[in-house]
Amino acid sequence: MVAQENLPLGPSLGELYVDPNLKVPTSEWRYVLDVNGKKTGAIKRAKGRTVGDIAVGLSKGIKGLNFEWDTLGQPYKYRVGEGAGPLTECPDHDGIAVYVTHGGSEGHLVHVDLMIGIEGQPHKVHKKLFMVKTFAGAAYATRIAHRVMRLMGVL
């Protein structure tokens, strides 16, 4: 399949396209249909998944790892902008960055950022999607980051 963002919508979008290699997608993609209702061979981003759906997918895919959770049962922090919550739709983005940092008194943090291009800007902007903390050390945080990358299709 060829993913094309700027295709005209045409008369309608078909059924959901599911990439078998991607376990936790950030967007829903649909087949583009021609005027006769047949698949054109292209797909189009229909909408972003909610931040809460992405969090649930990641937590199911990383059951064996030591996450720290807040009192609401969500990853330590998540946001795609000020005031974002579990029902916030994930914005369109050009890529995903996953990396580990030392969190001071909070052990180590695994960051999951969306890379968003802004017209007229030479560099992409990082928008935080998640930060997950662990107190099990840098090597363990790197294992979490690696698993997140696999689940989100970065690797």
- pLDDT tens track for 106-148: 688 888 888 888 888 888 888 877 777 778 888 888 988 888 8
Write the pLDDT tens digit of every residue in 71-87: 344 444 444 455 556 67
Q: How would you class 127 by CB atoms within 10 Å of its CB: exposed for 0-12, middle for 13-18, buried for 19 or more?
A: middle
Whether residue 146 is found in the same domain as residue 78? yes
Whether residue 57 is found in the same domain as residue 116? yes
User: In the β-sheet with 125-134, what is the strand arrangement from edge to edge?
Assistant: 77-78, 125-134, 108-116, 95-102
Whether residue 35 is found in the same domain as residue 61? no
pLDDT of 13 strictly over 90:
no
Whether residue 26 is found in the same domain as residue 69? no
Q: Give me the chain's average pLDDT, please.
A: 75
Q: What is the pLDDT of residue 19?
A: 65
Q: What is the pLDDT of residue 86?
A: 67
Whether residue 60 is found in the same domain as residue 19? no
User: In the chain, what percentage of residues exceed pLDDT 70?
Assistant: 70
pLDDT of 68 strictly over 50:
no
Whether residue 124 is found in the same domain as residue 142? yes
3 state DSSP class of 55: helix
Whether residue 95 is found in the same domain as residue 124? yes
Q: What is the pLDDT of residue 80?
A: 47
Whether residue 99 is found in the same domain as residue 142? yes
Contact 26, 96 (CB under 8 A): yes
pLDDT of 65 strictly over 90:
no
pLDDT of 64 strictly over 70:
no
Mean pLDDT score, 17-21:
67
**E strand intervals along 68-107:** 77-78, 95-102
Whether residue 25 is found in the same domain as residue 94? no
Q: How many domains does the chain have?
A: 2
Kindly report the pTM of this predicted structure.
0.70
Whether residue 21 is found in the same domain as residue 58? no
Q: What is the pLDDT of residue 12?
A: 62
> What is the domain range of residue 143?
51-151
Whether residue 61 is found in the same domain as residue 127? yes
